[in-house]
Amino acid sequence: MYDGRAVGVGPRWLPVALTARRSEVWPRPKRGNVGVDSGLSLIAACYGVGMLSSLLARWSGRLAIGVGHLAALAGAAAGLGVSLVILLGGPGRTLTQPLPILFPFARLSLSVDGLSAYFLLVISLVAVAAAIYGPAYLRAHSPEAGRARQAAQVFALNMFLGCMTFLCCAGDALTFLLCWEGMTLSSYVLVVSDDRDGENARAGLLYMVMAHGGTALLLVAFLALTERGGAFDFAALRAAADHLDSTTRTTLFFLALGGFATKAGVVPLHVWLPRAHPAAPSHVSALMSGVMLKVAIYGILRFAFDLLAPVDGPLPPSWGWTVLVVGTISAVLGVLYALQQHDLKRLLAFHSVENIGIILIGVGLAMILWRQDGVSGALATVALTAALLHTVNHAAFKGLLFLGAGSVLCRTHIRNIEELGGLARRMPWTAGLFLLGAVAISALPPLNGFVSEWLTFQALLGGGSRVHGPAGLVIVFSAAMLALTGGLAAACFAKAFGVTFLGRPRTAQAEHATEAPPSMIAGMVWLALLCVALGVAPGYAIRLLDAPTAMLLHGPAASAVVTARGPLVLSAALTPSGTDATAISMTMMAALLIALTAMAWILRHGLRRSPARAAPTWTCGMSPTTRFDYTATAFAKPLRLVFAALYHPRREVTRETAGTPYVVQRIHYAGEIVDLAETQIYHRVEREISALSRTIRARSTGRIYGYIGFVLGTLIVALLLIGVIYR
């Protein structure tokens, strides 16, 4: 029995300082205050331990992998805790922590506000799954891996997670850029670490080049601001941005947008993504697709609504419209190219392009509608809520799908779905979880993809009815394209799931596949539960969006608009009053679906215990073989012909005949489609650069005096330019 006075004394072995602080805090418990301040250090410590654990590979690679992933799991759990405390801590809750002074010219700091905390949550949710899934995957997929490779993978994974986490929590430009670069480098190591073949190396090189092109743009945007503000922290940047004229502001925004869009894989800057993402180990693919792209979305939001936003009045119209149009194009082209991919992980990577497009549609719409005259501010909140909700939704289902693809890959070592088949009988858990992810990503009720797309539709519709003229038509047309995207995604996943998991196994590897180990399934189950929870009870998740939406838009918070009628009902304030807005209840619909499924089950099985027997599939009298299964190429052929203008499909059929054309011995079919961005933009640029380098080669004589002359000339020109500018 304690009495009141005993509180705060504490056990005798506790240090005095700690007991004193406890007694001080105890009377007025501020939720998580003590824990959160040290939370960021805890996250850093966990990932740091994870990076150091790569040293253990000197003795045992297996030990290094185990300890490294355990540390990553702890870091992710700490990240979850910190982000939840900030998000649920009420409006305006921020956490600032100075970092050790590493550079004489800049003070580094971390600052976690609502937006940072939300992205920290997204990162940590997927990181938990990846850390659970990783060790078994690495063991099963590459048992012959050397210790150096294992050490590199453990080191890079923890560095990758740490950099993403602290990038979202960065309080100044230098921390942001350092983490950005660390994220790129560590993910590059992971991309090239998996298999040592030329294709991976080329994918890694392309990734490296494009990522650094993007970083260069970001660097210009940041340095232009820090130079004006005289300091690196975000508050100084904000103050510097207040005095910008509109042209400079817009130029800086587009520079930043270019940098982030390269990382996010927005069409036409996406070409690295479908090569690099599949090359990494599958749990890293899940992180890259599910989380790393979102970090770029974080950057766009931070720049548009926070750093560069004018003090009052709407954002320049060109910003929002560019993002909306680019998002729509990415969504449609991403899914169209995904449809024609037969490499399971590559297909998923193209779907990331699509989903980033869907998120950008919401972001762009929020940018257009924000602080507009005659538009209720609630609508911008709906659009931003849709975008942020899709961010976490996409992280959940894309993570799940990549992990599912990884399970298939580590059991069969095949990525081409034409060579799989029949895996549902051999890997029932993986198949079921992959199907769940497929339903979610196709935006079908009652799972989470539908919820965020529904919100996007409502925001687009509301925007279309308020923005008049051709602009309104663009918004509604973008809604129609979003509908097309959803339909095509369903077609694509009917193909991907059907050809991979159903029918007959088409190769020996597929025939002898076994179920993935339990820890891998546990990682997938975690994300599957997220998909279900976010789909069936989204109202509770929307409470977490209050802090970022209120902070960015300075308007009504998400739950005040979207779940104004209670957490079980989603509504979007299409009318200014918000009372007769369209409302749906995912919870009720899920309950109805379950009840109806039970009734249909009774109808199917309960009426009469009818005999069931198995028989071979009817194949017109021939004995059924795997050749009768519909292939992925055949499945996608009608859509390939319908959208031929975008694919430029090529096919080559050669027949080997036995002397007479009527006896065909063998038919060889090869078909491919082209990526329009690649042929129309990149190949041209490549040709131009090659031509340019050939001209330069003519001038490069090999004499050192000539080169010194060039350097001297360049220096003089640069000095003259500076003299002219700063006259």
Partner 1 sequence: MTGDRPLVLVLLEMALLVLLGPLVTGAIQKMKARLQCRQGAGVLQPYRDLIKLLRKGTVQADTASGFFRSIPVLVLAATVAAGALVPVVRVGPPAFPLGDALMLLGLLALARFLTAIGALDAGGAFGGMGASREMTIAPLVEPVLMMVVFSTALTAGTTELGALAAHRGTSWIVAWHAADFLGFAAMLVLLPAETGRIPVDNPDTHLELTMLHEGMLIEHSGPGLGCMMLATHMRQIVTLGLVAALFFPALPADSAGATGLLLGAGAFAVKILVLALYLALVESSYAKLRLFRVPQYLGVGFACALTALALRIL
**Whole-number minimum distance, CB 503 to partner 1, in Å?**
4
Cβ distance to partner 1 smaller for residue 47 or 350: 350
Amino acid occupying residue 542: I
Cβ distance to partner 1 smaller for residue 321 or 628: 628
Burial class (CB in 10 A: 0-12, 13-18, 19+), 558: buried
Residue 487 touches partner 1, criterion: CB under 8 A: yes
Torsion sign, CA atoms 306, 310, 312, 316? negative
Helix (H) or strand (E) holding 661: strand 660-672
Strands 650-658 and 660-672: antiparallel
Angle 163-168-171 from CA coordinates, rounded to 5°: 105
**Whole-number minimum distance, CB 432 to partner 1, in Å?**
8
Alpha-carbon radius of gyration of the chain: 28
Other Cβ atoms less than 10 A from the Cβ of 177: the count is 18
Residue 238 touches partner 1, criterion: CB under 8 A: no
Residue 671 touches partner 1, criterion: CB under 8 A: no
- Report the DSSP beta bridge partners of residue 668: 654
Cβ distance to partner 1 smaller for residue 152 or 348: 348
**Whole-number minimum distance, CB 468 to partner 1, in Å?**
7
In this chain, which stretch among 2-10, 236-244, 489-497, 718-726 interacts with partner 1, using CB under 8 A?
Answer: 489-497
Angle between helices 61-88 and 546-553 (to 10 degrees): 60
**Quick one: which of 20, 22, 52, 48 has its CA closest to 35?**
22
Positions in 633-652 near partner 1 (CB under 8 A): 634-639, 641-642
Structural contact between residues 8 and 54, judged by C-beta atoms closer than 8 angstroms: no
In this chain, which stretch among 133-141, 161-169, 396-404, 500-508 interacts with partner 1, using CB under 8 A?
Answer: 500-508
Residue 630 touches partner 1, criterion: CB under 8 A: yes
When binding is defined by CB under 8 A, the residue of 98, 146, 428, 706 that contacts partner 1 is: 428
Cβ distance to partner 1 smaller for residue 11 or 611: 611
In this chain, which stretch among 129-137, 216-224, 365-373, 630-638 interacts with partner 1, using CB under 8 A?
Answer: 630-638
When binding is defined by CB under 8 A, the residue of 133, 222, 501, 526 that contacts partner 1 is: 501
Cβ distance to partner 1 smaller for residue 416 or 626: 626
Strands 95-98 and 109-112: antiparallel
Cβ distance to partner 1 smaller for residue 408 or 431: 431
Measured CA to CA, the distance from residue 160 to residue 50 in angstroms comes to 11
Cβ distance to partner 1 smaller for residue 27 or 470: 470
CA atoms within 13 A on the CB side of 465: 11
When binding is defined by CB under 8 A, the residue of 31, 58, 425, 512 that contacts partner 1 is: 425
**Quick one: which of 471, 482, 427, 410 has its CA closest to 449?**
482
**Whole-number minimum distance, CB 440 to partner 1, in Å?**
11
Angle between helices 173-193 and 198-229 (to 10 degrees): 180
When binding is defined by CB under 8 A, the residue of 119, 319, 493, 526 that contacts partner 1 is: 493
**Whole-number minimum distance, CB 371 to partner 1, in Å?**
22
Cβ distance to partner 1 smaller for residue 138 or 380: 380
Structural contact between residues 489 and 409, judged by C-beta atoms closer than 8 angstroms: no
Q: For the residues of 224-237, what is the DSSP string, one character each? A: HHHHHHSSSBHHHH
Cβ distance to partner 1 smaller for residue 90 or 566: 566
When binding is defined by CB under 8 A, the residue of 155, 234, 253, 457 that contacts partner 1 is: 457
Positions in 544-573 near partner 1 (CB under 8 A): 565, 569, 571
**Whole-number minimum distance, CB 23 to partner 1, in Å?**
49
Measured CA to CA, the distance from residue 389 to residue 467 in angstroms comes to 24
Residue with tokens 């510097």: 240
**Whole-number minimum distance, CB 377 to partner 1, in Å?**
17
**Quick one: which of 616, 517, 425, 503 has its CA closest to 133?**
517
Measured CA to CA, the distance from residue 559 to residue 546 in angstroms comes to 6
**Whole-number minimum distance, CB 424 to partner 1, in Å?**
4
Cβ distance to partner 1 smaller for residue 233 or 629: 629
- What φ, ψ does residue 98 adopt, rounded to 5°? -70, 150
Cβ distance to partner 1 smaller for residue 256 or 491: 491
Helix (H) or strand (E) holding 657: strand 650-658
Residue 321 touches partner 1, criterion: CB under 8 A: no
Cβ distance to partner 1 smaller for residue 458 or 549: 458
**Whole-number minimum distance, CB 668 to partner 1, in Å?**
21
> Mask of contacts with partner 1, 378-417, x by CB under 8 A?
----------------------------------------
In this chain, which stretch among 9-17, 94-102, 367-375, 449-457 interacts with partner 1, using CB under 8 A?
Answer: 449-457
| Chain centre distance of CA 423 | 27
E-assigned strand segments in 386-507: none
> Mask of contacts with partner 1, 576-615, x by CB under 8 A?
----xxxxxx--xx--xx--xx-xxx-xxx-xx-xxxxxx
Residue 491 touches partner 1, criterion: CB under 8 A: yes
**Whole-number minimum distance, CB 627 to partner 1, in Å?**
9
**Quick one: which of 212, 168, 205 has its CA closest to 189?**
205
Residue 621 touches partner 1, criterion: CB under 8 A: no
In this chain, which stretch among 32-40, 230-238, 402-410, 451-459 interacts with partner 1, using CB under 8 A?
Answer: 451-459
Cβ distance to partner 1 smaller for residue 54 or 448: 448
Helix, strand or coil, per DSSP, at residue 571: strand
**Whole-number minimum distance, CB 354 to partner 1, in Å?**
13
In this chain, which stretch among 258-266, 399-407, 461-469, 677-685 interacts with partner 1, using CB under 8 A?
Answer: 461-469
In this chain, which stretch among 10-18, 248-256, 431-439, 526-534 interacts with partner 1, using CB under 8 A?
Answer: 431-439
> Mask of contacts with partner 1, 502-541, x by CB under 8 A?
xxx-------------------------------------
In this chain, which stretch among 122-130, 470-478, 513-521, 697-705 interacts with partner 1, using CB under 8 A?
Answer: 470-478
Measured CA to CA, the distance from residue 311 to residue 326 in angstroms comes to 26
CA-to-CA separations, 92 to 142, 158, 196, 358, 436, in angstroms, rounded: 47, 30, 49, 28, 37
Cβ distance to partner 1 smaller for residue 189 or 479: 479
Measured CA to CA, the distance from residue 191 to residue 184 in angstroms comes to 10
Residue with tokens 């002219």: 724
Peptide bond into 11 cis (omega under 30): no
Buried-state track 222-243, b at ≥16 Cβ within 10 A, e below 16 = bebbbebbebbbbebbbebbee
Measured CA to CA, the distance from residue 286 to residue 434 in angstroms comes to 13
**Whole-number minimum distance, CB 288 to partner 1, in Å?**
27
Residue 445 touches partner 1, criterion: CB under 8 A: yes
**Tokens (6 digits) for 44:** 């850093």
When binding is defined by CB under 8 A, the residue of 468, 554, 683, 687 that contacts partner 1 is: 468
Residue with tokens 């198995």: 614
Q: How many chain residues bind partner 1 (CB under 8 A)?
A: 94
Structural contact between residues 330 and 356, judged by C-beta atoms closer than 8 angstroms: yes
Cβ distance to partner 1 smaller for residue 239 or 444: 444
When binding is defined by CB under 8 A, the residue of 429, 540, 628, 682 that contacts partner 1 is: 628
